[in-house]
Amino acid sequence: MSKAITPRAQDYAQWYNDLVIKSGLADYSAVRGCMVIKPYGYALWENMQAVLDKMFKETGHQNAYFPLFIPKSFLSREAAHVEGFAKECAIVTHHRLKNDPEGKGVVVDPEAVLEEELIVRPTSETIIWNTYKTWIQSYRDLPILINQWANVVRWEMRTRLFLRTAEFLWQEGHTAHATAEEAMEEARRMLDVYTRFAESFMALPVIRGVKSPAERFAGAVETFCIEALMQDGKALQAGTSHFLGQNFARAFDVQFLNKNNEQEYVWATSWGVSTRLIGALVMAHSDDDGLKLPPRLAPIQVIIIPVYKNETQRATVHTQALEILQQLKKAGFRVQYDDADHVRPGWKYAEYELRGVPLRLSLGEREIQQHQVEAVRRDTREKLYLPFDQLPEKIGDLLDQIQQDMFHQAKNFRDQHITSVDNWDDFLRALEEPGGFVYAHWDGTPETEIRIKELSKATIRCIPFPEQLPDDGPGNCVLTGKPSARRVLFARAY
């Protein structure tokens, strides 16, 4: 595998594409706008899934699966929802092919027109709430706490691997509640779950807040989000949780008999994260030599590489390496031993550096004589020597330290790229240097929000929760000078 990667400083977008492909995470496909997730990338997604799935179940949720196809009439029932997704929908109009009478392959059978056209799932609120109507009659049927692992299709014209593709993988939670308070509590709870996952497992610091009305999910009353910062100074929305009010319950007539024996519409939430988190992981941590994967999610946490000069040394090193391999597997580490003899150790070092393996162990005759292995951290390239008789403990401590250090490095970068400004010139300058988040007053109108985007390409990423960023209270809008209740967080974004 060629290790030539475009430097970040030269072309950040190309650096990202090079890294995703050459590290073996994903590849382009024959279908425009779609990607192939390769085994290494899918192993990373599986690790993310496993952690999130455990978190969901610990908060009382169950997994289910709903149809990929949604009747077109369902989307039209919630006006804001259909407006938000109409331009991205893929539509099935026929159910059969036939051989071309002229012998030119296959053609759509014109007689196989569907009675009602089907939308390929862009999100599942409509099909799920149509189902919930048959499940919910009484307050005793509530709450319903459902999560679905699935693929969705949103017909994107400008795509980028993991970040924006026509088809992607995700999870979507859909819950039903008896009161607005319970639904709001659920929406905030799941945002906290996403925050904990991003920071404790992805080593990705995030800012929690609420979206402006213009950035709100189509059909939601409120959208809560976590926003992360990439190394090029652009923001990336890393997760959203929506308080849907009674909008979808009204659209699908989902009512229940409450404790006062009165009919009432159900309250709802939805929340989701997707494979774009892999893109976030790549862009937040990696360097010009390859991926840097946090140990808690890395498909391979430890790689063992033998070093020898002849067959006698090879046999000795091989025996010791197998002992270490079994010892670390028994201790629960995701560890591999690369004993391929057609490439030199130096090539392997570069290969596993490219793939972001957090810890590399090198073992040769000298290390065996000294009863230790040479360990090199991927994040700092620091070299250490670990005694054979303490390997599981030392490696466990080292992986925990790498995880913490990666988070703190990303957080320090993020914190150094949050700039408070009070006028338009400083706003534009801050977007360029240092880049990142700009904390500024906004007059609260959608017209100003649109104008700021037109002039600067920056959007309101969120209105941060009070505990996230200090707010100095009322001020004047950075663009119009009109009164502003508080500062909001702007950035250019993916």
Contact 184, 390 (CB under 8 A): no
230/327 Cα distance (integer angstroms): 37
Question: What's the pLDDT tens digit per position in 29-87?
Answer: 999 999 999 999 999 999 999 999 999 999 999 999 999 999 999 988 887 787 888 88
Percent of the chain with pLDDT over 70: 99
* pLDDT exceeds 60 at position 153: yes
Q: What is the pLDDT of residue 156?
A: 83
Q: What value does the mean pLDDT take over residues 409-423?
A: 98
Residue 344 in tokens: 């030199």
State the CB neighbour count (10 A cutoff) for residue 493.
17
288/354 Cα distance (integer angstroms): 9
122: phi then psi, degrees, rounded to nearest 5: -90, -25
Which residues make Cβ contacts (< 8 Å) with residue 101, sequence separation at least 6?
none
Residue type, 111: E
Residue 371 in tokens: 């009863």
**Cα dihedral 317, 321, 323, 324 sign:** positive
Radius of gyration of the chain measured on its C-alpha atoms: 26
Mean pLDDT (the chain) is 96
State the CB neighbour count (10 A cutoff) for residue 468.
16
203/223 Cα distance (integer angstroms): 24
- Domain over 302-395 is classified CATH 3.20.20.20: no
Q: Where are the domains of the chain?
A: 12-285, 302-395, 417-491
Q: What count of residues does the chain have?
A: 494
Q: What value does the mean pLDDT take over residues 319-324?
A: 98
Question: What's the pLDDT tens digit per position in 215-272?
Answer: 999 999 999 999 999 999 999 999 999 999 999 999 999 999 999 999 999 999 999 9
129/174 Cα distance (integer angstroms): 9
Q: What value does the mean pLDDT take over residues 166-174?
A: 97
Helices (H) and strands (E) in the chain, counts: 14, 27
Strand (E) positions, 248-367?
255-257, 263-265, 267-274, 302-306, 335-337, 359-363
Q: What is the pLDDT of residue 2?
A: 47
437/460 Cα distance (integer angstroms): 10
**Paired strand residues for 463:** 210
Question: What's the pLDDT tens digit per position in 438-484?
Answer: 999 999 999 999 999 999 999 999 999 999 998 889 999 999 999 99
Contact 95, 114 (CB under 8 A): yes
Note the maximum CA span of the chain. Answer: 84
- The matching CATH number, chosen from 3.30.390.10, 3.30.110.30, 3.40.50.11540, 3.40.50.720, for 417-491 is 3.30.110.30
Q: What is the pLDDT of residue 86?
A: 86
**CATH class name, domain 12-285:** alpha beta
Q: What is the pLDDT of residue 1?
A: 43
* pLDDT exceeds 50 at position 319: yes
Q: What value does the mean pLDDT take over residues 112-139?
A: 97
Q: What is the pLDDT of residue 471?
A: 87
CA angle 124, 262, 181 (to 5 degrees): 55
Percent of the chain with pLDDT over 90: 94
* pLDDT exceeds 70 at position 384: yes
Q: What is the pLDDT of residue 157?
A: 77
Residue 243 in tokens: 């308080």
* pLDDT exceeds 80 at position 3: no
Which residues make Cβ contacts (< 8 Å) with residue 492, sequence separation at least 6?
233, 234, 235, 431, 456, 457, 458, 459
67/65 Cα distance (integer angstroms): 7
217/223 Cα distance (integer angstroms): 6
